[in-house]
Amino acid sequence: MDDQNIKTQVREHYASIARDALAGTRDSCCAPADNNASSCCAPTNVISADAIALPTDIVNTSLGCGTPLEIARVQPGETVLDLGSGGGLDCLYAAKLVGASGRVVGVDMTPDMITLANANAKKVGATNVEFRLGELENLPVDAASVDVIISNCVVNLAPDKDRVFRQAFRVLKPGGRVAISDIVTRAPLPDALRSNLASWASCVSGAIPETEYADKLRAAGFVGVEKVSGGENLTEPVYSAKFIARKPENT
């Protein structure tokens, strides 16, 4: 399977969800639609609208599998980068946490998702958040410019995870940190499943064992790599897990 084919499939899948959300033709991005049987959704893991004081219709655009901001310890004035920002929910929540003196940047490779995220930001009048069209493998972000990277159910979709983590390392300031929620597996998936193009977009085929995931973060240069939660239910072969890591001070 060619990496570009995977990305095209993933982009088309999420473009269709974004267009439906913009048209108001689905109650929740996680709700199955005829042309879109499944996604990277674990809606029960997503934080409530009340808790973050954002409108329910924006919270419903979430396609995440957790809330990385719960473990990111974001402080007022910081710069936050969201890898694969989708409809922008985590960015808008981060925008509240960093306040007027901070900044949030979301990067996503799907133009319709950028349109949806901008529409959501406008709806709540957020002025300290910006969405950039781009790929995680080639981040449109300056080196050493970010305090905190978050990501919610995205890296599993990337065929070249090593490159994504190297890019994340590049754009973080020394001492900067990473908080990720993502789909991982207990053991390597069978080849037949890994080569199933249709299930890449629904966050299955691209998922890798949690130990390999942590090793890839270390290989990119991160230290303090730790799985914070996930996989406690031993019967689940594929599950959502949260990881933290940081870039050493002296880099």
Contact track, ligand SAM, 121-140, x by CB under 6 A = --------------xxx---
Three-state DSSP class for 183? Answer: strand
Give CA–CA dist 91/85, Å, rounded: 7
Instruction: Cite the beta strand spans of 66-152 per DSSP E.
Output: 79-83, 103-108, 129-133, 146-152
Q: Does 210 bind ligand SAM (CB under 6 A)?
A: no
Q: Which stretch binds ligand SAM (CB under 6 A): 151-159, 215-223, 232-240, 241-249?
A: 151-159
Contact flag: residue 158 with ligand SAM (CB under 6 A): yes
Tell me which residue of 103, 75, 85, 207 sits closest to 139, measured CA to CA. Answer: 85
User: Is the CB of 37 or the CB of 100 nearer to ligand SAM?
Assistant: 37
Q: Which of 157, 171, 172, 178 binds ligand SAM (CB under 6 A)?
A: 157
Q: Which is nearer to ligand SAM, 87 or 230 (CB)?
A: 87
**d(C-alpha 102, C-alpha 75), whole Å:** 9
DSSP characters for 149-167?
EEEES-GGG-S-HHHHHHH
What the block records as the tokens of 32 is 């199955």
Of 58, 97, 153, 204, the one binding ligand SAM (CB under 6 A) is 153
Beta carbon nearer to ligand SAM, 97 or 157:
157
Helices 89-98/111-124 angle, 10° precision: 40
What minimum distance in Å lies between the beta carbon of 168 and ligand SAM?
12
182 binds ligand SAM (CB under 6 A): no
Can you tell me the distance from the alpha carbon of 158 to that of 167, in angstroms, rounded to the nearest whole number? 13
Ranges within 26-45 binding ligand SAM (CB under 6 A): 39-40
Contact residues toward ligand SAM (CB under 6 A) are 10-11, 14, 39-40, 62-64, 84-87, 89-90, 108-110, 113, 135-137, 152-154, 157-158
